[in-house]
Amino acid sequence: MAWGGCLLTSLLLAGCGDSSESSGGPASSGDWITLEGQTQGTTFRFVWNAAGAQAVRPEQLDSILTEVDDAVNLWNPQSDLVRINAWPLDSGAFTWRDSSQILTLLWLRCEELWAASDGAFDPSVGPLVALWGFGLSKSDEVTPAGLQAARSAVGFTRDVVSLEEIEGLDGSLLSVVKKEVPGVLLDFNAIAQGYTVDLVADFLRERGVQHGMVEIGGEVRCWGKNDRSEDWHIAIDAPIAETGTDRVFDAIALVQDAAICTSGSYRKFREVAGKRLSHAIDPRTGNPVDHGLLSATIRAHTAATADALATACLVMGPEEGRGFIEGYRQEHPEERIDAYFLIDNGSGGWTSWMTEGWKGNLIPTESKQPA
187 touches 74 (CB < 8 A): yes
Residue 115 has a pLDDT of 97
Q: Strand 161-167: give its sheet, edge to edge.
A: 94-96, 173-179, 161-167
- Pick from 196, 160, 194, 217: nearest CA to 6: 217
Q: End-to-end CA distance of the chain, in Å?
A: 35
- What would the pLDDT profile of 216-242 be if each residue is shown by its tens digit? 999 999 999 999 999 999 999 888 866
CATH code for the domain defined by 74-179 = 1.10.3980.10
Quick one: pLDDT band at residue 273, thresholds 50, 70, 90? Answer: very low
Least confident of 26-30, 98-102, 353-357: 26-30
Tally of residues, the chain:
371
Is the pLDDT at 349 greater than 80? The verdict is yes
pLDDT at 14: 29
pLDDT in tens, 283-334: 999 988 888 899 999 999 999 999 999 999 999 999 999 999 999 999 999 9
Please tell me the least confidently modeled range out of 6-20, 99-113, 154-168, 348-362.
6-20
pLDDT at 271 over 70: no
Exposed/middle/buried for 28, CB within 10 Å: 0-12, 13-18, 19+?
middle
323 φψ region: left (φ > 0), alpha (ψ -120 to 50), beta (else): alpha
pLDDT tens-digit profile of 128-159? Answer: 988 887 654 555 578 889 899 999 999 999 99
* pLDDT at residue 65, rounded to an integer: 95
Give the model's pLDDT for residue 27: 63
Instruction: Tell me if 98 sits within 8 A of 70, measured CB to CB.
Output: no
pTM over 0.85: yes
Q: Give domain limits for the chain.
A: 74-179
Mean pLDDT for the chain overall: 86
pLDDT value at residue 41: 80
Distance CA 330, CA 367 (A): 35
Confidence of residue 165 (pLDDT cuts 50, 70, 90): very high
In whole angstroms, give the CA distance from residue 310 to residue 294: 11
